[in-house]
Amino acid sequence: MGNEAQTPDAAASVDFQEVQQTGQFQELRKRHRSFVFPMAIAFLLWYFAYVLLADYAVGFMSTKLWGNINVGLVLGLLQFVSTFGITAWYVHYSNRKLDPIAAEIRNEIEGHEFDKGSTVRGAAK
Amino acid sequence: MSAMVPMVNVAALKDTTLLNVGIFALFVLVTMVIVFRASRNNKTAADYYAAGRSFTGSQNGTAIAGDYLSAASFLGITGAIAVNGYDGFLYSIGFLVAWLVALLLVAELLRNTGKFTMADVLSFRLRQRPVRIAAALSTLAVCFFYLLAQMAGAGSLISLLLGISDWGGQALVIVVVGALMIMYVLIGGMKGTTWVQIIKAVLLICGAAVMTLWVLSIYGFNLSNLLGAAADSAKNPNVLNPGLQYGKTETSKLDFLSLGLALVLGTAALPHVLMRFYTVPTAKEARKSVVWSIWLIGLFYLFTLVLGYGAAALVGADTIKSAPGGVNSAAPLLAFHLGGPLLLGFISAVAFATILAVVAGLTITAAASFAHDIYANVISKGKADAGTEVKVARRTVVVIGVLAILGGIFANGQNVAFLVALAFAVAASANLPTILYSLFWKKFTTQGATWSMYGGLSAAIILIALSPVVSGAKTSMIPGANFAVFPLSNPGIVSIPLAFLLGWLGTVVDKRREDTAKQAEMEVRSLTGVGAEKAVNH
């Protein structure tokens, strides 16, 4: 391997705007965003709700539940649980909903279906 | 103190110095051999900066955990829980939840669009020079703050573990740690650094697991009993409740909110974490890396909860605070209480290794950013060949290493977890808005990027300079002066929203439009991985 900058780039001649317009890519984009955006908002809200409770509702957080275990500790540990849960959920979702369609588009691009001035795609479909 | 709490004889720690040094020397020897072996294939820039993109997701995930679980996490959080109780636990939750930002919004997209550095991604569809310079400057600033924190941690650790309490002696050890780090990075590049981080992560997590089980077994594997013992030892039931450290005044409550914001938004913008995503061959492996690191880091923070309260119960907050090294000495003192000199020696060596590994990761990130972004792409306008670029990177490593040693000598004694929180605030302000805008907002422009990065970076740094961290309080860096007009110690709550606002404002008032073809290319590449940098086969 020499300088990477001189390695021929397989994607150099691709018309990415054409790819971007395809229904397939729009679907991938929609699936990705419709998962990550709501999920990001949800966990941030849950995290800040917890931080605000710890900050301004000390009495509530100090309520004992069992022995010396209080609400604050349980909510804190639930932050761990939700983090692990969202991680597992996202992996499951991407494996099933994102990876296959991303691989399909990648194969089509690498098969020169979207090269500039190419008619392969028009002829094939 | 009640008679039920056996005290650690701090003076007895000095007798274990030789053992500590011995175990640490063994670690250095083993890792040096591995670094030498790993470095044989370091030929190209991709080898040096990105380890030939040849690590698997699980290896890289372990290395990320090794990079992330710094001295601040291990010594700082355990100590914070031991002394401040619940409020110390809040740090670990912020540090962990932050990984979801990296997992969902950043890691894979970044791996698909970049080559070596954060600036590669940020400048992808914007104008190269201004964006690259801004991104490289903020990378260097964040790395500097983080380095300072690690080197300061090295100083306080040394005072405890080697029984060296005079300033000159500590400075000498900081020089030794710095010199070792320079050797690792010079010889091993990213591959060597990664292996050091993997070994260290395994040792650290295993050591913490053993200590956690040990502490739990003392209390019959009943968390409630452990908490009760910690509260009894502290003679204050409030150590189990939030607010001991941050609940004192309205300002300190606001300060905590600011810290929480910086922690959760900072991780996904730390340049040395981002750079680790380039060491794997595909975006799928990048995802696997994050998943691995989330599990390892989460598990480790659960351990620190037990270790912190364990140290409070078994060693006692007063003993910890009066020990050399102060709050940071909770974990080593607990190790000594549990397993005597041998466990202390092991934990100390791991803590040293931690600092070494994290400092090495930061140094290679800063060096790559300087050589790749500033030297290769700005100064020589992309005409430099990869060999020269790596040569420049190696020289930069030496310069940064020397700066880190000097900074470490002067920052010696500062609170470690706290300095790291500042690095998070700078990263979240300077980098995160531009990363998210350029990945997800079609209309984002160069002017938006530069306004956001320079605005966020300078706001964060100026507010820190004007905060009680630098002046106006007993614990300040310059206790004698008082120009602390900004009341909060963490600038995040002001500087992060400001940076997001500036990115938006800079874009909407920008008359220039960016290249829509480039935007299409970035979006398609980021989601599909087409044309992404492949692994180097030797």
B90 and A86 within 8 Å at the Cβ level: the answer is: no
A94 and B516 within 8 Å at the Cβ level: the answer is: no
A1 and B536 within 8 Å at the Cβ level: the answer is: yes
Residue B480 confidence (pLDDT): 79
Which among B184, B178, B177, B141 is positioned nearest to B30, based on CA atoms?
Answer: B184
Which among B355, B344, B316, B338 is positioned nearest to B156, based on CA atoms?
Answer: B355
Instruction: Look at A24-28, A92-96, B49-53 and tell me which has the smallest mean pLDDT.
Output: B49-53
Contacts of A12 in chain B (CB under 8 A): 531
Is residue B425 a part of any domain in this protein?
Answer: no
Structural domain count, chain B = 1
Partners of residue A70 on adjacent β-strands:
A64
The nearest CA of chain B is from the CA of A104 a distance in Å of: 9
Is residue B452 a part of any domain in this protein?
Answer: no
Residue B177 confidence (pLDDT): 79
Is residue B525 a part of any domain in this protein?
Answer: no
B interface mutation test: which of A18, A33, A83, A98 has the most B CBs within 10 A? A83
Contacts of A73 in chain B (CB under 8 A): 86, 89, 227, 240
Contacts of A47 in chain B (CB under 8 A): 93-94, 97, 260, 264
Which among B10, B34, B359 is positioned nearest to B174, based on CA atoms?
Answer: B359
SS (H, E, C) chain A: CCCHHHCCCCCCCECHHHHHHCHHHHHHHHHHHHHHHHHHHHHHHHHHHHHHHHHHCHHHHCCEEECCEEHHHHHHHHHHHHHHHHHHHHHHHHHHHHHHHHHHHHHHHHCCCCECCCCHHHHHC
**pLDDT single digits (tens) B393-447:** 889 899 988 988 888 887 766 666 667 778 889 999 999 999 999 999 999 999 9
Angle at B94 between CA A52 and CA B279, to 5 degrees: 155
Structural tokens at position B157: 């650790």
Give B27-83 as a DSSP string.
HHHHHHHHHHHHGGG--SHHHHHHGGG---HHHHHHHHHHHHS-HIIIIIIHHHHHH
Is residue B252 a part of any domain in this protein?
Answer: yes
Is residue B438 a part of any domain in this protein?
Answer: no
Domain of B314, in residue numbers: 2-413
Residue B314 confidence (pLDDT): 93
The nearest CA of chain B is from the CA of A85 a distance in Å of: 11
Is residue B464 a part of any domain in this protein?
Answer: no
Which among B277, B437, B439, B460 is positioned nearest to B365, based on CA atoms?
Answer: B277
Contacts of B241 in chain A (CB under 8 A): 58, 61-62, 70, 72
Structural tokens at position B405: 């040693």
Placement of tokens 């180097």 in the chain: B536
Interface of A with B in 66-95 (CB under 8 A): 66-70, 72-73, 76, 79-80, 83-84, 86-87, 90-91, 94
B90 and A36 within 8 Å at the Cβ level: the answer is: no
Distance of CA A110 to the CA centre of its chain: 23
Size of interface A-B (CB pairs under 8 A): 178
Task: Give me the tens of pLDDT residue by residue for chain B, a chain 538 residues long.
Answer: 333 334 455 555 556 677 777 887 888 888 888 888 877 777 777 788 788 788 888 999 999 999 888 776 788 889 889 998 898 888 899 999 999 999 999 999 998 988 888 898 899 999 989 999 999 999 999 998 888 888 777 776 766 667 777 778 878 878 887 888 888 888 888 888 888 889 889 999 999 999 999 999 999 999 899 999 988 888 888 888 888 888 888 888 999 999 999 999 999 999 998 888 888 888 888 899 999 999 999 999 999 999 999 999 999 888 888 877 677 788 988 998 998 888 888 888 888 788 888 888 898 899 888 888 888 888 888 777 878 888 888 898 999 889 888 888 877 666 666 677 788 899 999 999 999 999 999 999 999 999 999 999 999 999 988 988 777 777 777 777 788 888 888 899 999 999 999 999 999 999 888 888 999 999 999 999 887 777 766 5
* Mean of pLDDT over chain A: 85
With a cut of 90, say whether residue A27 has pLDDT above it. yes
Q: Where are the alpha helices (DSSP H) in B70-166?
A: 71, 78-84, 86-101, 107-113, 118-122, 128-161
A13 touches chain B (CB under 8 A): no
Q: Quickly state the pLDDT bin for A11 (edges 50, 70, 90).
A: low
B154's CB contacts (< 8 A; 6+ apart) are B71, B173, B174, B177, B352, B355, B408
C-beta separation of B366 from B140 below 8 A = yes
B253 and A48 within 8 Å at the Cβ level: the answer is: no
* Spatial distance between the Cα atoms of B471 and B466, rounded to a whole number of angstroms: 7
* Spatial distance between the Cα atoms of B380 and B383, rounded to a whole number of angstroms: 6
Residue B276 confidence (pLDDT): 87
* Spatial distance between the Cα atoms of A40 and B468, rounded to a whole number of angstroms: 33
Residue A78 confidence (pLDDT): 97
CATH number, residue B183: 1.10.4160
Contacts of A55 in chain B (CB under 8 A): 242-243, 246-247, 253, 256-257
C-beta separation of B158 from B170 below 8 A = yes
Contacts of B531 in chain A (CB under 8 A): 9-12, 14
Tell me the CA distances in angstroms from A108 to A113, B236, B285, B524, B528, one per residue in order. 6, 66, 22, 12, 11
* Spatial distance between the Cα atoms of B528 and A114, rounded to a whole number of angstroms: 14
C-beta separation of B505 from B96 below 8 A = no
C-beta separation of A16 from B517 below 8 A = yes
Residue B9 confidence (pLDDT): 52
Residue A121 confidence (pLDDT): 47
* Spatial distance between the Cα atoms of A15 and A11, rounded to a whole number of angstroms: 9
The secondary structure element, H or E, covering residue B425 is helix B416-430
The nearest CA of chain B is from the CA of A31 a distance in Å of: 11
Placement of tokens 């931690």 in the chain: B354
Residue B497 confidence (pLDDT): 97
Partners of residue A69 on adjacent β-strands:
A66
Which among A81, A80, A76 is positioned nearest to A61, based on CA atoms?
Answer: A76
Among candidates A20, A52, A68 on the partner chain, residue whose Cβ is nearest the Cβ of B224: A68
A113 touches chain B (CB under 8 A): no
Residue B188 confidence (pLDDT): 82
B257 and A55 within 8 Å at the Cβ level: the answer is: yes
Is residue B162 a part of any domain in this protein?
Answer: yes
C-beta separation of B134 from B143 below 8 A = no
Residue B485 confidence (pLDDT): 86
Angle between helices B432-440 and B446-465 (to 10 degrees): 160
A9 and B287 within 8 Å at the Cβ level: the answer is: no
Among candidates B224, B298, B537 on the partner chain, residue whose Cβ is nearest the Cβ of A84: B298
Is residue B391 a part of any domain in this protein?
Answer: yes
